[in-house]
């Protein structure tokens, strides 16, 4: 994944997590929704299958990347 796609995937994750938390969801649910949004973004941008995109987002560990 190139830097531009990574940035967009992380942005999708971060914005969705913040939105879910803002709507009163607990952190676990917010991260689940954010991971799904990030995977959908990756799939749409690269054309990879949904399950492969989900696995790639999980492997990125966006929570840890955004905390750094």
Tens of pLDDT, residues 22-50: 999 999 999 999 999 999 999 999 999 99
Containing structural domain, residue 32 = 3-67
Q: Provide the domain count of the chain.
A: 1
Mean pLDDT of the chain: 96
pTM over 0.95: no
The arithmetic mean of pLDDT across residues 7-16, rounded, is 97
The arithmetic mean of pLDDT across residues 43-59, rounded, is 96
- In this prediction, residue 68 carries a pLDDT of 76
Q: For the range 59-62, what are the long-range contacts, defined as Cβ-Cβ under 8 Å and sequence gap of 24 or more?
A: 60/6, 60/9, 60/10, 62/9, 62/10, 62/13, 62/14, 62/34, 62/35, 62/38
């Amino acid at each position: 994944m190139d830097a531009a796609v990574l940035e967009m995937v992380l942005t999708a994750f971060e914005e969705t997590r913040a939105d879910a938390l803002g709507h009163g969801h607990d952190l676990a649910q917010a991260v689940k929704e954010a991971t799904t949004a990030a995977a959908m973004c990756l799939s749409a941008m690269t054309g990879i299958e949904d399950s492969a995109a989900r696995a790639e987002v999980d492997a990125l560990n966006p929570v840890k990347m955004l905390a750094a």
